[in-house]
Homo-oligomer: A and B are copies of this chain.
Amino acid sequence: MVIVMKPGASDEQIQHVIDLVREFGLKDHPIYGTDRTVIACIGDKRAVDKGAIETAPMVERVVPILAPYKMASTEVKQTRTTIEIGPEKFPVGGNKVGLIAGPCAVESRDQLLRIADAVKDAGAIGLRGGAYKPRTSPYSFQGMQEEGLEILAEAGRNTGLAIVTEVVGVETVDVVAEHADVLQIGARNMQHYPLLEAVGKVGKPVLLKRGLSAQLEEFLLAAEYIINAGNEQVILCERGIRTYEKYVRNTLALAAVPELNERSHLPVVVDPSHGTGHAHLVPAMCRAAIAAGADALIIECHADPEHALSDGAQCLTPAVLSKLTGSLKRIAQAIGREL
């Protein structure tokens, strides 16, 4: 932490801040510059609210130096983490790029079993599909819930695909963990800490979506909550952020992929469906995501998007998905990976 004093700070005011720093268990290191005094502070006390020092008289600002996350960080673990998902233990985070696809929501047994087969045929390693749907409006379709989970589990048994499905609250963690292979934390819940702690106590991989307007640091701290609760199998998912742009539902921030790879050892997945919101943009962004270094893609796929009960506008049909995989494979090869 570096504390910048305002110009004109008196010796007493500087000493007062130094006293505060020492009181917090840190070692002070004042530097008297031409324009102002700066107090560098040494010592690792991540838990203290150092912002409080900003309220001391004549403090201009407080600049943190250390990243606040540890276990998610490459500082603590240099080797990349590979997480195996599903009955066939597909590795996410290694040399192979994975494809996870499926409908936004489980709408019926028939719909899901058919799309599962199509997704499998397209070369996917995982099947996504919501049984519990967090919907912006209370009047929208809220998902088939436990029945949906059973259908997903059946599709998983049939196909060998890893079942990826969202858990929307602490009270349904157990039932979701019973049926699914990967527990998804949705973007809206990225900072719902009781839920992060609850999935941190489950022995299954977690796919953590970046919040709608989360900083990377907050995203990694959310992962840290899960790891800190005991579950190291966290897969990060970039799914677009909210910006002023209007032609997309969200702005897919692909530079997050190399940056997360720099800061963290956890695998990174990209969701170009939510990341754009429009089917016509999805193929190009799937290609770009792999080129940027994504470890897997998670894509919405529906046999009849015009009648999808949610997120229809961003679904690919199985035919489009299948055709897309050719160029995805070639791009993976272009960077020395496989799909």
Residue ranges of A at the interface with B (Cβ–Cβ < 8 Å): 2, 4, 7, 20, 29, 31, 33-36, 38, 40, 42-44, 46-47, 49, 51-56, 62-63, 65-66, 68-69, 75, 134-141, 168-171, 188-189, 191-195, 211-213, 215-218, 221, 224-225, 228-229, 241-248, 251-259, 262, 275-276, 278-281, 283-285, 287-293, 305-313, 315, 327, 330-331, 333-335
Contacts and interface: CB of A to CB of B under 8 A. Distances in A.
Given A2-B38, A255-B281, A140 B193 contact: no
Chain B CB within 10 Å, residue with most, of A276, A306, A335: A306
A285 B258 contact: yes
B313 A4 contact: no
A55 B193 contact: no
Chain B CB within 10 Å, residue with most, of A49, A215, A259, A276: A49
Nearest to A286: B291
A47 B137 contact: yes
Given A4-B65, A139-B68, A251-B251, A52 B331 contact: no
**Copies of this chain held together in the complex:** 4
A243 B247 contact: no
A307 to B, nearest CB: 6
A62 B312 CA distance: 12
A293 B134 CA distance: 33
Nearest to A188: B191
Nearest to A135: B193
